Amino acid sequence: MELLKEDFKIFDFEFTEQEFPVFNSDTSFRQSLKFLIMAILFTGFLILFWFVFWLSLLIIIPVVIFATRLKRLPRCSELCVKRLEKISKSSEEVSFMQTNLIYRKKPRGERKCSILLMAHHDSKSQTFPTEYRVYAALVLACNFLSMAILYIFCVILEVFGITQHLWLRPVTFMLGWVNVMILVVLSANRISNNSPGALDDASGIYVLRKTAKILQNTFFENCEVWFVITGAEEIGQIGAADFIIKYKGELDPNTTFILNFEMIGLKNYPLSALQSYSFPYKRQISPFLYPLTKKSAEELHINLKGWYLPIGAHTDAHLFRKEGFKAIDFVVKKAGKYTHLPKDTFNLIDPKLIEDQAKVNVTLIKKIDKIF
């Protein structure tokens, strides 16, 4: 943190250091246990499904009842609500303190819009690469969807006493065991701190600093530019949540745009941004920001690709989107082979790509400033 503050001290920006607690109950290190519990519960469902078919409904019915009784959350996202609840409780045990670094470049005139460039300074390692876990999650989603359809058919046919559906049960049963095996493997995923975190996410901070260097002598009429370096992103976007809690009254979702940088500048791969997500139907992530970014890159003759991530991504930008902000994630798909591993080192990064991303950022900010 001290090194980062020294790096950004050369810029004449307004600076705020936001310290916040990370509670023991915040940590994601219990995720492996959750996968194991899911595997055990799913095994119970499969046993009932095979041997006592109608009793398998007993596991599904409570889930449906619980889902229908969920209280509607206020505009503030669930994570922010939970943060406020934890902060207000004296019984919550603090694990350690984390920090957001916030830099603001004021416009010449009246502020009519805000652009937040974000990256996170924390890092972690895991047993399995990000890419493998994404594929595992996709297989789980496909299997669960297939099982749900087949199970509904089984129930309907059982109700009408039709016995020709017997082949459906072995297929559903086998798909279920595939899911159990995947869940057991994911439960073996261990979180530690053995990754240098070059791509994820020193590269994002690198982009922010290069962009700040260009903007140091660039002035905007109506756009205020923020450089936000968050902490505890790897533990569930806690730093971003605390930032939103503190500044949500100052930032209008209609005139605030989030540019989030993760896994930038991988050698031999073009600059990239998440364009769509969700399964089985694609949803556009940033229908306003992505086309504007693509146009900015084309004007600079810089190659920038959009790509589809079926399972979505829990990033700081994702949290802002849940709050109603327009947000885009800049991330290289192939970087998932290296992130959260000891091999995520600085020799993977091409400085030329970092420079290109900074140039695209500045052009994009200029376009948004003109719009307002």
| Domain edges within the chain | 2-28+98-127+193-371, 31-72+129-191
Q: For the packed helices 31-51 and 168-187, what is the interaxial angle rounded to 10 degrees?
A: 160
Give the pair of three-digit tokens for residue 85: 């609840």
* CA angle (213 as vertex; 207, 215 as ends), nearest 5: 100
Question: In angstroms, rounded to a whole number, what is the distance separating the alpha carbons of residues 190 and 125?
Answer: 8
% of the chain with per-residue pLDDT over 70: 94
Within 13 A of 52's CA, how many CA atoms are on the CB side? 9
pLDDT bucket at 66, cuts 50 / 70 / 90 = very low
pLDDT, residue 29, reads 67
Calculate the CA 253 to chain-centre distance.
19
Neighbouring residues of 37: CB distance < 8 A, sequence distance ≥ 6: none
Task: End-to-end CA distance of the chain: give it in Å, rounded.
Answer: 34
The tokens for 67 are: 């889902």
- Can you name the residues that pair with 259 across neighbouring β-strands? 117, 328
Question: How far apart, in whole angstroms, are the C-alpha atoms of residue 241 and residue 261?
Answer: 17
Letter for the amino acid at 20? F
Give the mean pLDDT of the chain. Answer: 88
Residue 46 dihedral angles phi and psi, to the nearest 5°: -65, -40
Backbone φ and ψ for 123, nearest 5 degrees, come out as -145, 160
Angle at 188 between CA 34 and CA 37, to 5 degrees: 25
CA separation for the pair 57, 259 (Å, rounded): 45
Half-sphere exposure of 115 (CA within 13 A, CB side): 28
Cα 49 from Cα 169, distance rounded (Å): 8
Q: According to the model, what pLDDT value does residue 312 have? A: 65
Task: Give the pLDDT band of residue 317 (cuts 50, 70, 90).
Answer: very high
Q: What residue ranges in 62-201 does DSSP mark as E strands?
A: 94-105, 113-120, 125-126, 191-192
Does pLDDT of 196 surpass 50? yes
> Minimal CA–CA distance to 274: which of 265, 284, 266, 264?
284
Question: Cis peptide leading into 329, omega within 30 of 0?
Answer: no
Q: 329, exposed or middle or buried, with CB in 10 Å at 0-12, 13-18, 19+?
A: buried
- pLDDT one-digit tens code per residue, 1-47: 889 999 999 998 999 999 999 988 887 667 788 888 888 888 888 89
**More reliable by pLDDT, 227 or 322:** 227
Distance in angstroms (rounded) separating the CA atoms of residues 359 and 365: 10
Nearest by Cα to 271 from 139, 208, 184, 361: 361
CATH of domain 2-28+98-127+193-371: 3.40.630.10
Between strands 125-126 and 283-284, the pairing is unpaired
DSSP H or E segment with residue 328: strand 326-330
d(CA 244, CA 205): 20
**Which of 164-168, 205-209, 227-231 has the weakest average pLDDT?**
164-168
- pLDDT of 160 reads 81
Residue 190's pLDDT is 85
